[in-house]
Amino acid sequence: MISKVTIYYNPKCRKSREALQIIREKGIEPEINYYLENPPSKEELSDILRKMGKSARDIFRKSEPLYKDLGLKNKDLDDEVLLDYLNKYPILIERPIVVKGQRAVLGRPPEDVRKII
């Protein structure tokens, strides 16, 4: 059975567009989640992180001004609290994230997507 591929995608992001192109070059038409309009739930985020082997802190866009404004650098914030912020402010989610079956990868650089497709 072939696992579907999902990309958490921002069309304004060059890395997202490059990752999508890599997927399509493999003959795969992924499910595209425009995550800024359709933010993943905390449960979805938790599942993605498990598949990536990462913590919530690992997928924050630390260069996003909102990250600093909200004080998210605070090491006392646990994953549960951080997942709340990622869900409420999806602009903070690093992109693109590609999920296939039980694996997920952050497409930075976009070539990392090849590891799972």
Catalytic amino acids?
13
Nearest to 8 by CA among 50, 43, 37, 46: 37
> Do 51 and 99 form a contact (C-beta atoms < 8 A)?
yes
Q: How far is it, in rounded angstroms, from Cα 37 to Cα 13?
A: 15
The arrangement of strands across the sheet holding 97-100 comes to: 31-33, 5-8, 97-100, 103-106
